[in-house]
Chain A
């Protein structure tokens, strides 16, 4: 072993710093080299002083006050954190994004969400364009569940005293000119038309309409009728 290597090793003299082989080599070198042996003695003296410094544990002037200050600051931070929960969430998300897998997953999620949003936006714009075009073409056909009754036939039927008794109280015409018919009224109309001895063409048409309404009523629970003003065709 050279003196240079020995000096390096003698500075690592505390337990666990040198291997048994290194320690043995150092011992053998110092036994044959007075200069290194003297240096080693000084290293040990130095270590002895440091050991005494090490044994002294500095303590804060008032540990309880320091603890109280720490807890007060943490409580203050906690309060601020409550007040800044949004900011904290951003911080948390930022810290999560430090994990590569989450970062890539987030990027993928954002991309898919954006693509989905753009696709739906385009679909909505297309629907609006289509709707505008259809509105420009003229009035729309009646809704699916609207059933028409020719009021002429109703008026003819109203001539009969029995129907006159039924209609005014049970048929409501709303602002959209839809006739709202209750199930009892429909049943009464059906019974009335069926019971008529001289069935006219108009009454038969009204009966067919009412029959379909009754059928629909059983399925839907309620129906609305479109009021067709005089002169209009069905």
Chain B
């Protein structure tokens, strides 16, 4: 159920119950974006925690004329990008293309994805698909193709123009398609 319109007013007044209601409603959205961007569940949970702490701290600055989810995604995105950059600086490498049992994940077009995909596998699959993309392309790919935001929402979250979003999306999808053809046997499917 969508929170009542006066929820932000109540949170500004220090109402913790209202804030809890907001967290419970938006936490799944924030988590799914964070885990898709970071491809790491523990780091995603940390990012979600930090996101809502920032929401609480900055709720006075929130402009109700923009959608709350857009504002929330912006915070999640910024935190995740910072985390990814820090990870890159540390040369942090993870996500082998393996599942929990150490078996290689095989994503063939004729495989039942519903059976294949668990959260653990999903992060590996997404990482294997988008891990090699430049930061902006990866962000736009996750927001549009995995998080299912509209082009306009992607523009609002990233601050990029529609043309720029579409161009980046085109390059990201082409690379992912090439990757699917090479590694996941999409080529053979009809």
Chain A interfacial positions (CB closer than 8 Å to B): 7-8, 11-12, 14, 16-17, 42-43, 45-50, 52-54, 56-61, 63, 66-67, 69-71, 73-75, 77-78, 95
Instruction: Report yes or no: B52 in contact with A42, Cβ–Cβ below 8 A.
Output: no
A52 to B122, CA, bound (A): 11
Instruction: Report yes or no: A71 in contact with B173, Cβ–Cβ below 8 A.
Output: no
Instruction: Report yes or no: A66 in contact with B146, Cβ–Cβ below 8 A.
Output: no
For residue B113, which residue of chain A has the nearest CB? A52
Interface locus among B53-61, B69-77, B79-87: B53-61
Q: A11-B170, A53-B122 given as contacts; is B28 within 8 A of A59 (CB)?
A: yes
A66 to B35, CA, bound (A): 14
Instruction: Report yes or no: A50 in contact with B146, Cβ–Cβ below 8 A.
Output: yes
What is the interface residue range for chain B against chain A? 35 or more
**Among B32, B41, B109, B169, contact of A49 (Cβ-Cβ < 8 Å):** B109
A175 to B186, CA, bound (A): 110
Q: How many pairs, one residue from A and one from B, have CB atoms within 8 Å of each other in the complex?
A: 121
Interface locus among B1-9, B15-23, B91-99: B15-23
Residues in B whose Cβ lies below 8 Å from that of A95: 61
Could you pull out 21 A-B pairs where Cβ atoms are within 8 angstroms?
A7-B174, A11-B170, A12-B166, A17-B169, A42-B177, A42-B187, A43-B173, A45-B189, A49-B180, A50-B146, A52-B117, A53-B126, A53-B146, A56-B117, A58-B119, A59-B119, A69-B45, A70-B27, A70-B49, A71-B19, A74-B53
Instruction: Report yes or no: B24 in contact with A67, Cβ–Cβ below 8 A.
Output: yes
What is the minimal beta-carbon distance from A75 to any residue of chain B, in angstroms? 7
Residues in A whose Cβ lies below 8 Å from that of B14: 78
Instruction: Report yes or no: A70 in contact with B23, Cβ–Cβ below 8 A.
Output: yes
Q: A11-B169, A66-B27, A70-B27 given as contacts; is B122 within 8 A of A58 (CB)?
A: yes
A73 to B57, CA, bound (A): 11
Instruction: Report yes or no: A12 in contact with B169, Cβ–Cβ below 8 A.
Output: yes
Chain B interfacial positions (CB closer than 8 Å to A): 14, 16, 19-20, 23-24, 27-28, 31-32, 35-36, 41, 44-45, 48-49, 52-53, 56-57, 61, 107, 109, 113-114, 117, 119, 122-123, 125-126, 144-148, 150-151, 166, 169-170, 173-174, 176-177, 180-181, 184, 186-187, 189
Residues in B whose Cβ lies below 8 Å from that of A58: 31-32, 35-36, 41, 119, 122-123
- Name 9 extra pairs, CB < 8 A, besides A16-B150, A60-B44, A73-B49: A49-B113, A53-B125, A54-B146, A54-B147, A56-B113, A58-B36, A60-B45, A70-B48, A95-B61
**Among B20, B48, B113, B166, contact of A53 (Cβ-Cβ < 8 Å):** B113
A43 to B174, CA, bound (A): 8
Instruction: Kindly list the 10 A-B residue pairs having the minimum CB-CB distance in the complex, ordered from nearest.
Output: A11-B170, A46-B177, A52-B113, A11-B173, A58-B119, A70-B52, A74-B56, A58-B35, A56-B117, A50-B145
